[in-house]
Structure 1
Amino acid sequence: MTTTTLLLQLSDTHIREPGRLAYGRIDTAPYLAEAVASIARLPQAPDAVVVTGDLTDFGRAVEYEHLRALLAPLPMPVYLLPGNHDSREQMRTSFPDHPYLGKGGNHDFIQYSVPVGDLQLIVLDTVVPGASEGRLCSARLQWLETELARHTSRPVVIALHHPPFRTLIGHMDDIGLREGAEALEAIVARHPNVERVICGHLHRTIQVRFGGTIAATVPSPAHQVRLDLAPDAASAWMLEPPGFALHALPRGGRLVSHIAASGRHPGPFPFHDGGQLID
């Protein structure tokens, strides 16, 4: 029987303390609660969930406490990584039972590598404290090189917050990955077992060819960045349908990524009735 590894990706949850609105307009908590309920309704349970940054809005202890409660119904391992709205120190304090977050160190980066079924999830830290844009310095990239060398026989998914490519949404590219994208692409190109580079930050589905594989962002479970490719487009968000990604790796096969809308929707309904196409 074929075994398929399922890695579910959430991103950009932007949780505030209970009762507070993000941007003065949106309560992101019910949206995350609905995404968690949608995950529970999937026909096949994911092996793990990874949340690719911007977990909270301001990196405050009370926000991470709220996030923890919202994620608590998930029965599978949940892996967190920081975005530009997060605090590495507070993440470690608020999630002491997540040892992969580390204890700080010379560079204080949150970078780790964990097995998820038949694939290896490798997480990179792109955060520049106090800044919206991201960076991958030589120390972070050297760690990636070393980790990839340890897993040449396993399919790999690399996760980071800031996408290492231009999205053509100008105001988001202005706060994108400012340093290290070309070096990252060169590293990925040398490792054909990298099945996907998965990112957050953009609050919508965007895909690009990258280093011989695909790099992609995913929707937020709450609000989405407005799709406007004008170079001078205003920074704005929309209440488009929220969602998440499900990355599926069949044993011996290639990674297949699905984007799903969270929430309850009519169906499923059969295409056929008793073997006959319904007229």
Structure 2
Amino acid sequence: MKLIHLTDTHLVAPDKRLYGLDPRARLAAAVADINLHHGDAQGVIISGDLTDRGEPAAFQALREVLEELSMPYFLGMGNHDARETLQAAFPELPRDDGGFVQYAHAFGPDADDCVLVMLDSAVAGEHGGLLCESRLAWLDACLVAHHDRRILLALHHPPMALGIRYMDDIRLQNPQALHEVIQRHGNVEHLLFGHVHRPASGVWRGLSFSTLPGVNHQVGLDLVSAADCLAGSHEPPAYGVLMIGEEQVVNHLHLYMDDSRRYFFHDTLEAAQSLEALDELIALQRDERIPTREREPLSNTLQAAEAAK
């Protein structure tokens, strides 16, 4: 099965920009790209910071863009979001008994199919995250209810330090409590989060994890500055393509607004000695005057390229 992961969309009111960029346009570009290339996905997970300031107009803009998706979407809370405003804009969004945006969604009836468990780690007025006793108790009961299923766990705040000191200070503040709940059940297979606006993956206490660049702006890879300094950047946004098989979870990072060259590998193109020459060969390949899949002797394809000129 296939799922898409987006995070940190940071929408603002339609007449505003954020760090000089238009978050709505960048999200709309992601939606169009997902529809075009991944229409077979079973859903899109968006792990928090849906808006930048929690404005009703920003949530309305979010809803309008997401309505263009050809598949369901699953929203999570971030520290930039306002829980009541989110729930007013998306009244169908599930909540637990405490009003937190926490829910489970099963993607199929079989044990090999996964269950998405979305956690709400946001604390009003704080940038750091916390899972209170109520939210942890809900997670504990949820993992019991789905004890025979593979769990994909999503939340906004990472429980582990990633080496960017500013972000490490505002990560999940009680990671040990989360770990203890996960460890009791043993059916959580992969952890997804947002918040850090960077691609990162690894293993935390035996559990694989992955996160992504944000949709609008990014956090620079700065592993030396003090915790009161946060580097920003306009590196390309991305979404993750989760391929979930019987024996593995693979997360492909797709830089959907990257405009670098695209071509099929071929001996002829490999022989290009300048970017100008490569561009000419790419044009020939697009015109199908250079093969894209069959490998031929280099001499033959060079002759074909010369003849095509």
TM-score above 0.5: yes
Contact preservation (8 Å) 1:38, 1:263:
no
CA offset digits 1:221-266 (Å, max 9, x no partner): 221101100141622310111101111112x222111111112644
Q: Indicate whether 1:112 and 2:131 are aligned.
A: no
Change (3 A) 1:43 1:86: closer
Which residue among 26, 37, 41 is the counterpart of 2:36? 41
Deviation at 1:44?
A: 5.3
Deviation at 1:166?
A: 0.4
Q: How does 1:112-131 map to 2 (within 5 A)?
A: 112-117=103-108, 118-131=113-126
2:288 alignment partner in structure 1: none
SS of equivalent residue, structure 2 residue 53? coil
Percent identity over paired residues: 36
Q: How does 1:1-279 map to 2 (within 5 A)?
A: 5-23=1-19, 25-42=20-37, 45-96=40-91, 98-100=92-94, 102=95, 105=97, 107-117=98-108, 118-179=113-174, 181-232=175-226, 234-250=229-245, 252-263=246-257, 265=259, 266-267=261-262, 269=264, 271=266, 273=292, 275-277=294-296, 279=298
Rounded Cα–Cα distance in structure 2 between residues aligned with 1:258 and 1:274: 23
Q: Which amino acid aligns with 1:115?
A: A
Contact preservation (8 Å) 1:171, 1:235:
yes
In structure 1, the gaps of 5 or more residues are none
CA-atom RMSD in angstroms: 2.0
SS of equivalent residue, structure 2 residue 143? helix
Contact preservation (8 Å) 1:6, 1:46:
yes
Change (3 A) 1:277 1:175: farther
Is the helix fraction higher in 1 or 2? Answer: 2
Deviation at 1:69?
A: 1.2
Contact preservation (8 Å) 1:38, 1:264:
no
Rounded Cα–Cα distance in structure 1 between residues aligned with 2:3 and 2:180: 25
CA offset digits 1:13-72 (Å, max 9, x no partner): 00011120124x222111111111111222552100111000001111100011111112
Rounded Cα–Cα distance in structure 1 between residues aligned with 2:188 and 2:262: 36
Aligned residue pairs: how many? 268
Change (3 A) 1:198 1:274: closer
Change (3 A) 1:60 1:273: closer
Q: TM-score, normalised by structure 2?
A: 0.81
Q: Which amino acid aligns with 1:113?
A: A
Runs of 4+, deviation exceeding 6 Å: none
Q: Which amino acid aligns with 2:220?
A: R
Contact preservation (8 Å) 1:19, 1:27:
no
Rounded Cα–Cα distance in structure 2 between residues aligned with 1:172 and 1:204: 11
SS of equivalent residue, structure 1 residue 269? coil
CA offset digits 1:165-196 (Å, max 9, x no partner): 001111111211112x1121233234333111
Rounded Cα–Cα distance in structure 1 between residues aligned with 2:141 and 2:8: 28
Contact preservation (8 Å) 2:8, 2:194:
yes
SS of equivalent residue, structure 1 residue 15? coil
Rounded Cα–Cα distance in structure 2 between residues aligned with 1:258 and 1:10: 12
Rounded Cα–Cα distance in structure 2 between residues aligned with 1:89 and 1:138: 21
Q: Which amino acid aligns with 2:14?
A: P
Rounded Cα–Cα distance in structure 2 between residues aligned with 1:277 and 1:253: 36
Higher relative contact order (CA 8 A, sep 6+): 1
In structure 2, the gaps of 5 or more residues are 267-290, 299-309
SS of equivalent residue, structure 2 residue 208? strand
2:272 alignment partner in structure 1: none
